[in-house]
Chains A and B, each alone.
Chain A
């Protein structure tokens, strides 16, 4: 008998014996009375049903976005009012002590404005989205999503657990990349790492939400406009999922050839979520964590942008030259140079892409008080934005290189420069192609 067969036979005997003991003891100490109605089965019948399974999933996704958008509106406005009131106070202090103009510009117009944008735009949606998502997680719904979607992943040569790493990616792509450790096979793990960025992380959500409410849902009543924005954001997410599957398919037929390996997924019983604990934990663990990271990056970035915008070479500012240089490519993609520059300078964190864009636009044009979405919309319209620009902005936000933190994480997890570079180049190419094609079709 071969050694391997021997091992297998011994292994079988060991497992069988252990499970025999387990069953015997369990039967001796457990009394099961009438089980009554099994709610778990009833819920599962519905959420994994052939006809309702998928629609329910997308409905739930839509509802989560809708609650986030509707709920974030008011606190966002309040925070932004508060920050602008404080900016007035700061300005007063700076004038009082007769601080030099450049210091005022750097600290107040650069650092402070960058910070206040990040906090007022990001905090409310995060404080709503994260707890909602964590509730679904605690409830036990996510494994059902993996169950429903697995055959799509299998056909793309990917692992079913990838839907779980993607779910983590909604929070933070770096976390999603780390979560890929739950996938045992190296080939499928790499696919999960390389494609995680196609799920819009929390740093990109506020931008998607702002764009869709400003440009995709105008001229209709308040109630239905938030519904339309929710649908637009949901479609962007679904686009991301489809691109994930397509790229996985491509990778498993080219660079990462191979069959999908075996996979087992437990469907645990539903648990009543610990609502209070979830609220507190997701606020401190996720919201504050992500926000703090963004703030740490936004402050120096704000200063840097202010410098770039105020150092003039000849007639124009440095930032204007950079934007000008990128403008031809931006135009082809239905965007402009400033937007591309914002994405490039936003490498440290996706959260600061929009603040950079705004500051760059403002440094070129008139100073306005950007105290509401409608003022923001007006600014963009003045810069020649149309709904197409907004759409391509959303798509490029979905389809471009991951943020610096995520790239570092990918480098650490794969231990390879090659895969890290691919993880940056792949989505960028996809983004350039998608935006260009859409701009070409519409134009």
Chain B
């Protein structure tokens, strides 16, 4: 079974692969600049004290995204990838 979740749902310490980026315009471009494209591996590093924003490891750098934005990114968690392959 394929499980796709949005990036904000990825628990701390877990990794996944970006499948779809559903943001448009400037937000999309900013995400792309960070190297967030379909196929990118992302790991959730930590949540801020209020739970939003959340910091992710993206291509070797730690970048914090607000939940509004990370909601628009679909990912396939790694555990699922392993089972399917």
Contacts and interface: CB of A to CB of B under 8 A. Distances in A.
Contact of A265 (B37, B63, B68): B63
Contacts of B45: 41, 44
Contacts of B63: 264-267
A264 B37 contact: no
Given A11-B32, A267-B62, A151 B69 contact: no
A147 B55 contact: yes
Contacts of B28: 8
A8 B40 CA distance: 18
A50 B49 contact: yes
Interface stretch (A12-20, A119-127, A429-437): A12-20
B33 to A, nearest CB: 8
B84 to A, nearest CB: 22
A49 B50 CA distance: 10
Given A45-B46, A150-B48, A150-B53, A266 B62 contact: yes
B5 interface: no
B49 A148 contact: yes
A154 interface: yes
Judged by DSSP, the binding face of A is helix
A44 B47 CA distance: 10
A19 B68 contact: no
A19 B66 CA distance: 23
B53 A262 contact: no
Contact of A16 (B24, B34, B38): B38
Contact of A263 (B33, B35, B66): B66
Given A11-B32, A19-B40, A267 B55 contact: yes
A154 B39 CA distance: 30
A434 to B, nearest CB: 27
A48 to B, nearest CB: 6
A160 interface: yes
Contacts of A45: 46
A176 B69 CA distance: 27
A262 B23 CA distance: 10
A15 B36 CA distance: 9
B38 A147 contact: no
Nearest to A16: B37
B62 A151 contact: no
A404 interface: no
Of listed B59, B63, B64, B69, residue having the most chain A CB within 10 A: B64
Contacts of B51: 151
Nearest to B52: A151
A261 B62 CA distance: 20
Nearest to B55: A267
B4 interface: no
B52 A154 contact: yes
A71 interface: no
Given A11-B32, A12-B32, A16-B37, A266 B61 contact: yes
A49 B46 CA distance: 9
B46 to A, nearest CB: 6
B64 A147 contact: yes
Nearest to B60: A26
19 contacts: A11-B32, A12-B37, A15-B33, A19-B59, A22-B35, A41-B45, A50-B49, A147-B48, A150-B64, A151-B51, A261-B26, A261-B27, A262-B66, A262-B68, A263-B65, A264-B34, A265-B63, A265-B64, A266-B64
Given A12-B38, A147-B64, 20 more contacts: A11-B29, A11-B32, A12-B37, A15-B32, A15-B37, A16-B38, A19-B35, A19-B40, A22-B35, A48-B48, A150-B52, A152-B50, A160-B66, A262-B26, A262-B27, A262-B68, A264-B30, A264-B64, A266-B62, A266-B63
